[in-house]
Amino acid sequence: MSTDSPTTNHWTDRLPAAVGKTVHRLAIASLISQIGIIVTGGAVRLTKSGLGCSQWPNCVPGSMTPVPEQGVHGLIEFGNRTLTFVLVVIAVAFLVSIWRIRATHRTLFGLSIALLAGIPAQAVIGGITVLTRLNPWVVSLHFIVSAAMVMAATLLVNRTGALRRGETSLGRPAGTTQKFLAWTILATSALAIVLGTIVTGTGPHAGDADSPRHLFDPYFVTRLHVVPVYLLVAATLIALFLAMRTGEDKALRTPLVLMATVVLLQGVIGYTQHFTGLPILLVLFHMLGASLLAAAAINVWDRATRKFPF
């Protein structure tokens, strides 16, 4: 028989009973941190620090932290590893913030669990990356999973933002044409990101001088990579033109403007880095752009199709 009185206070009573400013800000923090870990991971590879920690989960045999012999590369790689704990803190904080409303907001709860579970999964993939001496296929998988987590965090931001404003949905779905274009934008963005990892795996920035590389023709894989990009540009411009022309899909104007901006910047950076010998800073910006591309594409798709549960 319980001895708790009706007035007993539980720790959950102090948690939010609705999606408010704190919950939404934690969702935004999750998105920013997921993009941030991609950029810092890129910095590890571009500074040739991919094997700065030669072991996993230890940095070096017998030590979780780098030793002086590892030099600056060990510090860079270990620094990126420690950022994983920032992601964990944010993911746990968000999960706790919605714990009281998890039964009535199942999508938020499911996305938060997926993002939290993705962190140790990524740590394992990162470990395999080190143990395989930066095998380019494993490195590609590492980036693709990170891009998927950026997309999940974007879905989270969309829903917490709407709920904070007192809305119970993202609005009505767009018309048939815009839905088709949104699916095209999402598919071509995903394909461009996947092919982009193969281009990177063929290029010079391996993360370590002795790491394996793809043996593809760099020119061929680069040309293959831009095919879905051309389709993406066409779909984005058509969707934006239609949204600006009619008031029926005016809710898509801002998402499509953001999408067009990201695509334009990615195109400029991509072509510039290609014709200037892949300078490190431009490659890093291109990785940031790929992260923003994933977020922008899923945002357009989410708002146009309303396919993902609210």
pLDDT in tens, 205-256: 888 888 899 999 999 999 999 999 999 999 999 999 999 998 788 899 999 9
CA distance 170 to 189: 22
CA distance 140 to 265: 22
The position carrying tokens 């092919």 is 195
pLDDT(1) > 60: no
190 close to 144: Cβ distance less than 8 angstroms: no
Residue in 221, 201, 180 with CA at minimum distance from that of residue 304: 180
Q: Residue 102: what residue type?
A: R
Please calculate the CA angle 244-246-251 and round it to the nearest 5 degrees: 65
- Tokens, residue 201: 């795996």
Residue 69: per-residue pLDDT: 83
pLDDT in tens, 261-305: 999 999 999 999 999 999 999 999 999 999 999 999 999 999 999
Phi/psi region, residue 31 (left: phi>0; alpha: psi -120 to 50; beta: rest), is alpha
pLDDT in tens, 111-163: 999 999 999 999 999 999 999 999 999 999 999 999 999 999 999 999 999 99
CA distance 220 to 215: 11
